[in-house]
Copies of this chain bind each other. A is one copy, B any other.
């Protein structure tokens, strides 16, 4: 579904040519008196979205609400934008579906686990950015994953998100028919993130393919779910095939994230730390200190990118 004549980007006509708007592709939206973003507890009639969100240039999304709060606290500190109380209210406080935080041009939103959960959030986020007339928005998913052939703690920046058969595509069912969408991510942004990791010199970062599955246990060839009908050998064979096809890590949201961001013109990246090497095990049984330290790596990397970009634009002086 390419941007067509029916695409609804009227509100962005006022943008100067060099600015890239956030596209919705839905001719029905223009005819609606109001748009209720139900799962955010926000809406065009109840909230002044351009004033609240018009300055957003970076959106960071991740599964866990706690991690997304911690990200905004980290960014506030890093950018010297802390407020007196260092408290950042949850913009979606009226619902428990997602959590959302903002500091300056940085928005942080949780998305829960799995493709359907992140897809609801992205539909409403893309409409929010559209209603707020945002331009030139970069979006990054920060997350955790299982690694293949990598030391735990390694950060993977996704080149392509692939399905359980290692194909770079996302299948979506619309009106009962399967539609296939591309899962390409922004190459330049991935390279920029790799350079950020080199600048930092704190942990190892690689660019590679990410397998996106709809199940954590049987869908990722784990031997420790409630059900398992295959052997350790079957598991290793499957993971080796994945590894040989270029898969560096496995998670549960990247495919629809890549597909929807591409459709909406958002420059997007996926940055996930590997918590374990899946060829060596399935259980997540390191100490919580180790996991906590690993989980900070994507946020440190994306934080560095944002700071560098803001320095270059003159928004922020180091």
Contact = CB atoms under 8 A, between A and B. Distances in A.
Contacts of A226: 24-26, 122-124, 126-127, 130, 260, 263-264
Contact of A117 (B113, B223, B227, B228): B113
A241 B32 CA distance: 26
A26 B230 contact: no
Contacts of A230: 174-175
Contacts of A227: 1, 24-26, 123, 260, 263-264
A141 to B, nearest CB: 15
A238 interface: yes
Interface string A32-56: 1011101000010000000000000
A114 interface: yes
Interface in A221-241: 221, 223-230, 232, 234-235, 238, 241
Interface stretch (A101-109, A208-216, A304-312): A208-216
B119 A116 contact: no
B1 A224 contact: no
B238 A175 contact: yes
Contacts of A124: 226
A192 B115 CA distance: 34
A115 B36 contact: no
A216 B28 contact: no
A219 B114 contact: no
A84 interface: no
Interface string A169-205: 0001111100000000000000000000000000000
Contact of A173 (B36, B172, B215, B283): B215
A117 B112 contact: yes
Contact of A283 (B36, B115, B285): B36
B126 A34 contact: no
Interface in A58-85: 63-66
Contact of A228 (B26, B165, B216, B232): B26
A115 B216 CA distance: 11
Contacts of A57: none
6 contacts: A25-B227, A28-B232, A64-B97, A112-B113, A114-B119, A116-B215
Interface of A: 1, 4, 24-29, 32, 34-36, 38, 43, 63-66, 94, 96-97, 112-117, 119-120, 122-124, 126-127, 130, 164-165, 172-176, 213-219, 221, 223-230, 232, 234-235, 238, 241, 252, 260, 263-264, 283-285, 288
